Amino acid sequence: MPSGNQTGERRRPLIHQLSDRANLYSEWVLFAMMLLMVLVIVAQVIFRFLFDALTWSEELSCFLLVFASLLGSAIAFKRGSHIAVTMLRDNLPAGARKVLATVIYALGLGFFSIVAYYGAVMMKEEGGQLTPALQISMRWIYLMYPVVGGITALHLLDGIVTTWEGGK
C-alpha cells in the first residue's frame, strides 16, 4: 500500500506550511486588531462628547497601531508586496537573480533576527514597568517585537527556499 499522498502530488516542505499557517493567523489577528482599534476610537469620540473621556483609549489605540503596522509588514513580506526597485534584478540572468534574492532575504533575515532578539531583551529589562493608563506590564507590549520578528524571519526563510525551488 503506498504511503503519503495518493494523487502523486509532492508534499510541500514544512517551512512553507509553517509560513502559510503563521500568515493565516497573522491576517486574522491583524483584522481583529484593526477592528478593535476602530471600535476603541469610536467609543472614545462618543464618550468624550457625551460622558467622561476614556483615559485608556488613546494608549490602547497607539499600541494596537504599532502592532498592526508591524504585523502588516510581516504579511507584506509573505505576499511579496513591499515596494522594490527591480531594474537591476530584471536585467540579471536567472542564476544571478536567485543569488541576489537570497542575499536580500538573508539581509532581511539578519535584521528581523536582531529585532526579535532585542525585543526579547527589552521584554526582560523593561517588563517590570506598567503602562501609564492601562496598568499592564510592558512585557506584553514589547512581546510584539520578538513575535513579529520571528514571523517575518520565518517568511524570509520560506522565501529563500521558494527561490531555490524555482518558484521566484
What pLDDT digit, counting tens, does each position of 77-132 carry? 999 888 777 888 888 888 888 999 999 999 999 999 999 999 999 999 998 999 99
2: pLDDT confidence band, cut at 50, 70 and 90? very low
Round to whole Å and give the CA distance between 28 and 50.
33
Q: Does residue 60 form part of some domain?
A: yes
- Please give the pLDDT value at position 6: 52
- Is the torsion defined by CA of 126, 130, 133, 135 positive or negative? positive
**pLDDT tens, residue by residue, 133-167:** 999 999 999 999 999 999 999 999 999 999 888 54
Confidence tier at 44 by pLDDT (50, 70, 90): very high
- Whether 118 is covered by a domain: the verdict is yes
Which positions ≥6 away from 87 have C-beta within 8 Å? Answer: none
**110 CB neighbour count, 10 Å cutoff:** 12
71 within domain boundaries: yes
Reply yes or no on whether the pLDDT at 8 is more than 70.
no
Q: Is residue 74 part of a domain?
A: yes
Q: What is the pLDDT of residue 136?
A: 94
DSSP 52-102: ---TTHHHHHHHHHHHHHHHHHHHHHHHT-S----HHHHTS-HHHHHHHHH
10 confidence band (pLDDT: 50, 70, 90): low
Collect all residues with Cβ–Cβ distance below 8 Å to 118 and sequence separation of at least 6: 145
C-alpha cell at 160: 529563500
**Residue 112: what residue type?**
F
Residue 69 lies in a domain: yes
Q: Is residue 8 part of a domain?
A: no
State the Cα–Cα distance between residues 89 and 87, nearest whole angstrom: 6
Residue-number span of the structural domain to which 22 is assigned = 14-165
Confidence category of residue 69, pLDDT binned at 50, 70, 90: very high
**Would you say how long the chain is, in residues?**
168
Q: Is residue 91 part of a domain?
A: yes
In a domain, residue 5? The reply is no
- Residue 1 pLDDT > 60: no
Q: Give the chain's domain count.
A: 1
Residue 7 has pLDDT above 80, yes or no: no
